[in-house]
Each structure stands twice: as structure tokens, then as C-alpha cells.
Structure 1
Amino acid sequence: MNIIDIHPHIISDDEKRYPPAPLFGKRSDWSQERPCTVETLIAAMDAAGVHKAAVVHSSTTYGFDNSYVVDGCKQYQDRLAAVGSVDMLADDVPAVIQHWAARGLAGLRIFTGGSTKDFDPSELDHPKSFRAWEVLSDLGIPMCIQTGPVGLPQVAMLARKFPKVNIILDHLGRPDVLDGPPYRNADSLFALADLQNIYLKLTPRIFGDVAKGEASAETFFPQVVARFGAQRLAWGSNFPTSPGTLSEILATAQQGLASLSAADQAWVFGKTAQKLYPTLA
């Protein structure tokens, strides 16, 4: 199995060439404490047996300047694809997306909140942002969305309004799974299952959550597969944001998904990523 990671990050060690300018004005702690250059990422991938990766731009380090993720991935274009971020409400956002796509950007991401800011999904359904979605639809570029349960109604609206855009929900939208089977607290997540252009990204956050409360990996992940299908699930390491080596993060994910069939695991750990980011095929 060729394992593909769709959520590592890279941080340059050259701040003159790639100056930090974090979104919301606050730089994330992890980007300062555990920075990872593209060369470091490749070494970690080699050690872990990860074949390829879709590298996610660090908005909490560089804001909307995707230069490092694009330049870094271009150095290893046989193994990496770049996923960037733009100001969805900017007047020139269609031209900006075209610019970054021409430089090699394979995907985009909306960061509505997280480590440095509470979630605010208002940008998701702002009519001004729809121009960006139209460009994504035309170019065939997928969009990752970082939000929590509060933003899932807007995600559903976007999936219906732009059916040609594949939407990848970071961290599964951070569902509450602590109640355990049948996971009624995660109903807002499962309500998205009929929207065929919504994909789920399985990261260390959910693997940690299913080890708490009444939840378990053996009861949660088979239910997710039954509702969405493994063809719409993909693994992302969140390395180095999440603590641990890439090898350790991968091992935790493999252990968490051990109850799935080999065919389903093949989709989660590689084939879905290739569908979302064809350059990784």
C-alpha cells in the first residue's frame, strides 16, 4: 500500500525569504516550538513509510502567503502537492486563485478557527465568497474546511450550491463522540453523508477522541464508513502540529482503523487522496 498523508504542514527556517504574517495576528505555538521544513518532512515521510503527501499551508504562520508551501512542494513535486489559503472575501479573489493555481497549488483551505481563534463560520456563507467557489468549480480544485459543528450547516449549503467542488472536512468537523454508540451527539456530522462531494479527513484529533468517554475506535469508525463509505475518507497526520513523530502518528491511525477491511483501509490511507489530488496518483 502506498500511504498518502493529506494534512502535514511545513515551516521555513528562512524568515527573511518567508516572513511570518499569521492570520488573526497570532502565530501558533506549534509552528515556533516544532517547525518542520520541507526537507524535514521528506525525511520524516521516508522514516515512516509515507509515500506522498498533500501539504497544508500554515495560515497561523503565513496568513494568505502560500509561497513556502508552493515552493517547498515544487522541490519534491513527484511526492508532494500544495494546499494553500486565500482571502475568500477579497475583491480580487478569483484572480488570486488563478495565480496560485498557476504556481502549482493543488487545493485550497478555509481556516475559520482553531488553535489561535474561536470558530467563526460566517465567512462560509458570505455571498461575496461564492465567486471563489465558482473558480474552484471551474478549475476542479478541492477545498478543505477547518470548522467545528457550528459550521456544518454552512458546509452542507456549500456542498449543495457547488456540487462540482470536493469539500474535505478537516478533523471530521470535530464531532462530539464521547457519548459512544450510536453517537447521537455526532448527528450533525452524519447528516452530511448524503452529500457526495463531502469528504472526511481523519487526523490525530479524532483518534484521540475515540479513546475517551464511551467512544471506541471499533464502534465509531465502522459507523463512519457505513454512512460515508471509505472512498470519502482520507488520513491526515497533522504533523508536526500534533505531537509525536510521523511514524508514531501513522501507527496510531493504523491501530485505530484496524477493525476496517483491508480494502477500506487502502482507500483511507491512499486511494481517496489520489482521487482528491490527482497529481499524487
Structure 2
Amino acid sequence: MNQQIIDIHPHIISDDERRYPPAPLFGKRSEWSQERPTTVETLIAAMNDAGVAKAAVVHSSTTYGFDNSYVVEGCAQYPDRLAAVGSVDVLQPNAPEIIRGWHDRGLAGLRLFTGGSTKEFDPSELDDPRSFAAWDLCAELKLPMCIQTGPIGLPQVTAMAKRFPGVDIILDHLGRPEVADGAPYAKAQSMFELAALPNIYLKLTPRIFGDVRKGSASPETFFPRVVEAFGAHRLAWGSNFPTSPGSLAEILATAQESLACLSEEDRAWIFSRTAQKLYPALA
């Protein structure tokens, strides 16, 4: 496969805390951001080492809250290789104005963080009517929306996908499905039901590549089923580097090995083309 490799889920953390002071969402900073901080320069070096051509860099909410300064300014240093994905409090009355401001500074996408490493999931903000103006603007500006939630949030994701068909929704970590029961993956039914909504995309990250090796699951039975349901053009690879342990090269190798059961065409979409469709700046 001579296709460029594109990563849609690495993170960066500045080593200059005076210029970019940590102010984590929910008041608790993630452990990984303190133990394995990766500056934009370190990320570029890791990408060079791993053979990753480009990346959509996801803002660290558990480090900087809603201040996207570092992800936007860091990515702006490498405009031919990086695009910035940020977070905004979509429930604030001035959210559209704030989104427009970050977009003018180069933001290529948004992310809603409803929980994860530092907090239980609370999907209630996803379909809160106060957020609708922000979603309308995302449709207008063609900004894709990443959503970090678990299976508990999928009814809200479904409602928003239907309400805002003009917004591409990218589900981080596939929405964390339960897959250990193995084929036909009955416990992941709520994820497979999302396939009927054409604006929902899935982000394949180290979490799923680990989970498909537990219990009765296997890459060979799970990933072809996901491709059959969603189409490879709605799947994209994200490294979650450096949140997930291991070098970027190791994380990529695991993903490639896990997806070796798919056709070359499907892998080209997952490792490159879907990313370019979602983030034209990376095309």
C-alpha cells in the first residue's frame, strides 16, 4: 500500500506552562499528559519515524479545558502536515462566536468530550438545545464533530446525527463497544445500529485493537463486519498517541496488523482517504 498514512487522533502538550497554562476540564488533569507529554516537535519527529505523513491533532481537554491555543498554534507551525481539532463549550450562548474565532485561527474540526480518563461519561450535553446554534455553525463551516462517549451516549449521538445531517460526526474509539462476546457481536449492537446514519464515522484507535484480542473476539471476525456495516469510507485510524502507551510506530504497526484481514482498498480508506474527506486540509 503506497498510500500516505494519516492519523486523526494524536495529542500535543506544550512544555511551556507559562505560555500555555494547564486548566483541565472537570478540574483533574490526566495522568498521561503529565507522564508522557508530547510537544508538537516531538509529534513531528514521531510521525517521521513511523512514516505518518499527516495528522489531525486533537486538543487535550484534560490538560487545557477549552483553551485551544496550543493545538492551533502548534499545528500552524506545520500547515502542510497538521490540522487542529479543538474543544469549545457548546452550551455557552456565545459558542458560535467562539467557534468562528478559533476557525479563523485555523481550527479544522471540533470535539465534544463528555467523559473519559478523568470523569464518568455524562452525555446530557450532547443533545442539549443550548448547543444547537453551535452545531448549525459546524454545518455551515463544514467542521466535523468528534464525540468522546461510551455506549450510554449513543442515543444522544443518534438524535444529533438525525437533527444535523450536514455535520459529519466522528465517534472516538467507536463509542467504546463491548466486543469480548465475539461474533456476531450482539453486545455491540448499539454501535452497529449507527450504520444507518450516513454522517456517522468511526475512529479506530488502540482501544479497539486491544479489545478485539480479548474473550471470543478477533480482528478477523470484527473488522470485516464493521466494514460491511459502515463501509471503509466511514472508518479512519487514530493513534491516540501519546495517551496510549508505545511509540507511534508501534501503535501504527498494531493497527496495520489488526486490519491485514481487510482489502487493500479498504485499508487505503481507513489509513488515509477517510481522513482527507473529513479534514480537507490534510488532502
TM-score range, shorter chain: over 0.9
Provide the C-alpha distance between the structure 2 equivalents of 1:69 and 1:86, rounded to a whole number of angstroms: 13
1:109: which partner in 2?
Answer: 111
1:94: which partner in 2?
Answer: 96
1:40 counterpart letter in structure 2:
T
1:273: which partner in 2?
Answer: 275
Q: Within the alignment, does 1:189 sit opposite 2:229 as a pair?
A: no
1:200: which partner in 2?
Answer: 202
Give per-residue Cα distances to partners, 1:157-177, cap 9 Å, x unaligned. Answer: 100000010000000000000
Deviating beyond 3 angstroms after TM superposition, the runs of 4 or more aligned structure 1 residues are none
Provide the C-alpha distance between the structure 1 equivalents of 2:241 and 2:213, rounded to a whole number of angstroms: 20
1:127: which partner in 2?
Answer: 129
Structure 1 gap ranges (5+): none
Provide the C-alpha distance between the structure 2 equivalents of 1:49 and 1:140, rounded to a whole number of angstroms: 29
Structure 2 gap ranges (5+): none
Q: Within the alignment, does 1:68 sit opposite 2:70 as a pair?
A: yes
The one of 156, 159, 162 aligned to 1:157: 159
Q: How does 1:240-279 map to 2 (within 5 A)?
A: 240-279=242-281
**TM-score normalised to structure 1 length:** 1.00
Provide the C-alpha distance between the structure 2 equivalents of 1:190 and 1:130, rounded to a whole number of angstroms: 26
2:18: which partner in 1?
Answer: 16
Provide the C-alpha distance between the structure 2 equivalents of 1:170 and 1:19, rounded to a whole number of angstroms: 26
Provide the C-alpha distance between the structure 2 equivalents of 1:237 and 1:139, rounded to a whole number of angstroms: 26
Provide the C-alpha distance between the structure 2 equivalents of 1:164 and 1:141, rounded to a whole number of angstroms: 10
The one of 196, 204, 216 aligned to 1:214: 216
Provide the C-alpha distance between the structure 1 equivalents of 2:140 and 2:265, rounded to a whole number of angstroms: 32
Provide the C-alpha distance between the structure 2 equivalents of 1:132 and 1:244, rounded to a whole number of angstroms: 36
Give per-residue Cα distances to partners, 1:246-267, cap 9 Å, x unaligned. Answer: 0000000000000000000000
Cα offset, 1:91, TM superposition? 1.4
**TM-score normalised to structure 2 length:** 0.99
2:98 counterpart letter in structure 1:
V
Provide the C-alpha distance between the structure 2 equivalents of 1:102 and 1:237, rounded to a whole number of angstroms: 27
Provide the C-alpha distance between the structure 1 equivalents of 2:247 and 2:142, rounded to a whole number of angstroms: 33
Q: How does 1:32-71 map to 2 (within 5 A)?
A: 32-71=34-73
Cα offset, 1:125, TM superposition? 1.0
Provide the C-alpha distance between the structure 2 equivalents of 1:270 and 1:259, rounded to a whole number of angstroms: 17
Provide the C-alpha distance between the structure 1 equivalents of 2:28 and 2:133, rounded to a whole number of angstroms: 28
1:174: which partner in 2?
Answer: 176
Instruction: Please state whether the residue corresponding to 1:179 is helix, strand or coil.
Output: coil
* Identity over aligned pairs, percent: 75
Instruction: Please state whether the residue corresponding to 2:196 is helix, strand or coil.
Output: coil
Provide the C-alpha distance between the structure 2 equivalents of 1:36 and 1:88, rounded to a whole number of angstroms: 27
